Amino acid sequence: MRDFCFDVAFGRVEMRIFSCLNGLSILASTPSVFFPSRLANFNSFPMSMFRDINSMDARRAAFHNVGRDQINADQVNFNISHTTTEPLQLLNPVPDAAYDSIQGVSECMEGTRQEVTGKIIRWIDGDSDQPVCWLNGAAGAGKSAISRTVARLCEGSNRLCASFFFFRGAGRRSTITHFISTIAYSIALSIPATRPYIEDVLQRDHHILHRSHKRQFQQLIVEPIRLAISSVRPMVIIIDALDECDNKQEIAEFIDIVACAFQGSQMPLPLRFFFTSRVEEHIRSKFAASPALDVTYCLNLQEFSADNDIRTFLRSRFASIYQQKRRQIGSISLPWPSQRDLNELVTKSMGSFIFAFTLANFVNDGSDLPHRKLQTALQSHSGLDPLYTRVLDSASHSHHFTRVLQTIIIITTPVSITDLAFLLQIEGGDVIHALQGVQSIIMVPENDEQPVQLLHTSLQDFLTTQACSQHLFINPATCHLSMATDCLSALTALTADYDDIIYEIKILQYAAQNWCHHLLSAVTEGDGVYLLSKDDAFVNMLIGFLSGSFDPWMNVIIFQIQIKGIVKILDSLLQVGIIQHCINIESV
């Protein structure tokens, strides 16, 4: 009976989805009618028609005919008003991707990493003819801190052209979608002479932000730089953590795009590109072959000993801890830690700055006296995974600990304590209590409205890889299904003024935009299909949502999101429906 109800409910909305997609194709000046087999065509959707749109009101309206300024598709209504927009704003940059973002990690501690930063600065100054530099190293080796230090030094000497710091799970910072446009925006501000050329491109080609990455790069970055800069001293673009970009194929292709810009041109390009990443195959293979191989200066962090720098860092942090908590450590003889213990900690770090940073946080987390926590750390195995295990095992596991941790790990963009509490339907105090014992590995803000963030993405890798986390393993399929459940639960709880309430509450906007993503991720991960087939409560909730809340939800996402995002959501919903229908058939 449940399976029949799902098929009926999904069948009712399926044609409305197709009608909406067809209406969107008209709105985007795409003449063809779209059906499931053609949904992939939306990847190259022209969306410049949105460039001057001030508002789209899709609330409480239904219509059936196409008009000039109003596009109608079944239960979806678009009311479009036009306004004059500052050309650069059309680039829609990612504001927190720059090196000096308030959400950024720290720079290198003064007096550390001088050998590697010195080599990078000499490369920038022309020590090498190669215009591209790739700094690679293991997770937690300090690549981002080095990038920020180099960026600050370049800005101080008026050499910094732009910077973009990818970060997995941080919304737009984790995708390539607004990457090139953000770089172009930064260039227009840092080199004012390029601004007229960039604005001219935006005004001449309303579709430029939806062209190929190669064309965007050429017209928004290369050509303005060549036309505006006559100096022989090159500027620097810093791009950190390529491996944190979700779009692996596209970011790998971007490496080739950059390399090709320095080949076969009679007019030199006064730019240097500094990249960092882990040694992941889709990135390594590009730098190991032409055209990137021919223009790249490679630096491997393993070739630079970090032991002395880690020792300097730990000595400074422990001195600070001692000063802060002298009354608690008063009976301990100085130096603290002893030289022997300090050397042992350096050995355990194995060149990982994130290990040293996390270890110091662990000792100072307040759950026990610092000198006792230090002894616990000394007794643990070397490496980051054992330290993560120690922190999580010793945390006071509150009733809500697992749900809060899973949500932080799996959510696609960081959210606040207030939003976490709303989504999980618990009190803000419960969220804070759940995170009390893990503040050495998760950044918990003092303000309930600021986002909760992982200290380092290696924690996500650890928890979602069973071979590493073992009994602490977080099953991605289970987590995504839980997130889809929480999102739908929050949405179905709304009654009157559905869309007005969503516009006022940020986490509800997230739920409206991402429940399909989490559900599709659940059924395409490992044993997700099996989990969904056994979860009667969720399927019944989904049936109720499709039957009673589909239309107001559609109005909300159309009001909030660009066409390409809407199509992606609807495509996910169609795929979920097809998968669930297959489950129903198999269970007959």
Number of residues in the chain: 588
Contact partners, residue 333, CB within 8 Å, separation at least 6: none
Report H helices in 281-369: 281-287, 292-295, 307-324, 326-329, 339-349, 353-363
Greatest mean pLDDT range, 416-430, 491-505, 542-556:
416-430
Bridge partners, residue 451, by sequence: 416
Task: Name which of 355, 350, 317, 358 is nearest 336 in CA terms.
Answer: 317
What is the DSSP pairing of strand 235-240 with strand 160-165?
parallel
Most distant CA pair in the chain: distance in Å?
83
Question: Using the 8-state DSSP alphabet, how is residue 425 labeled?
Answer: T
What is the DSSP pairing of strand 70-73 with strand 76-82?
antiparallel
Per DSSP, the three-state class of 276 is: strand
Per DSSP, the three-state class of 123 is: helix
d(CA 237, CA 275): 9
The band of 17, judged by pLDDT with boundaries at 50, 70 and 90, is: low
Domain boundaries, the chain: 2-85, 114-303, 307-394, 401-587
Question: Using the 8-state DSSP alphabet, how is residue 126 labeled?
Answer: I
In the numeric block, the tokens 């009673």 are attached to: 548
pLDDT at residue 394 in the model? 80
d(CA 296, CA 256): 11
Q: pLDDT tens digits, residue range 223-238?
A: 999 888 776 678 999 9
pLDDT at residue 497 in the model? 63
Average pLDDT over residues 88-102: 86
Q: pLDDT tens digits, residue range 312-330?
A: 999 999 999 998 888 888 7
Helices and strands of the chain, counted as H and E runs: 28, 10
Residue 159 structure tokens? 């050499």
Bridge partners, residue 416, by sequence: 451
What is the DSSP pairing of strand 132-136 with strand 271-277?
parallel
Task: Name which of 8, 165, 44 is nearest 96 in CA terms.
Answer: 165
Domain 114-303: assigned CATH number: 3.40.50.300
Q: Which amino acid is at 37?
A: S
Report the run of H or E that residue 272 belongs to, with start and end. strand 271-277
DSSP 194-224: GHHHHHHHHHH-TTGGGS-HHHHHIIIIIHH
The answer to whether residue 181 scores a pLDDT higher than 60 is yes
Q: Has this prediction a pTM greater than 0.85? A: no
Report the run of H or E that residue 581 belongs to, with start and end. helix 563-587
Output 219 or 44, whichever has higher pLDDT: 219
The answer to whether residue 56 scores a pLDDT higher than 50 is no
Average pLDDT over residues 25-43: 38
Average pLDDT over residues 276-294: 93
Give the start-end residues of each E strand in 360-451: 442-443
Q: pLDDT tens digits, residue range 437-474?
A: 888 889 888 889 989 988 888 899 999 999 999 899 99
pLDDT at residue 83 in the model? 45
pLDDT at residue 569 in the model? 62
Average pLDDT, the chain: 79
Lowest mean pLDDT among 367-376, 458-467, 491-500: 491-500
Output 20 or 80, whichever has higher pLDDT: 20
The answer to whether residue 578 scores a pLDDT higher than 80 is no
DSSP 39-86: GGGGGG---GGGTTEEEE--SS----S--SSEEEETTEEEEEEE----
The band of 263, judged by pLDDT with boundaries at 50, 70 and 90, is: confident
The answer to whether residue 168 scores a pLDDT higher than 90 is no
The b/e string for 473-500 (b: 16+ C-beta within 10 A; e otherwise) is: ebbbbbbbbbbbbbbbbbbeebeeebbe
Q: pLDDT tens digits, residue range 123-162?
A: 998 877 899 999 999 888 899 999 999 999 999 999 999 9
Q: pLDDT tens digits, residue range 515-570?
A: 888 888 887 776 666 667 677 788 788 878 877 777 777 777 766 655 455 556 66
What is the DSSP pairing of strand 76-82 with strand 132-136?
unpaired
The band of 580, judged by pLDDT with boundaries at 50, 70 and 90, is: low
Give the start-end residues of each E strand in 83-144: 132-136
d(CA 14, CA 560): 21
Per DSSP, the three-state class of 179 is: helix
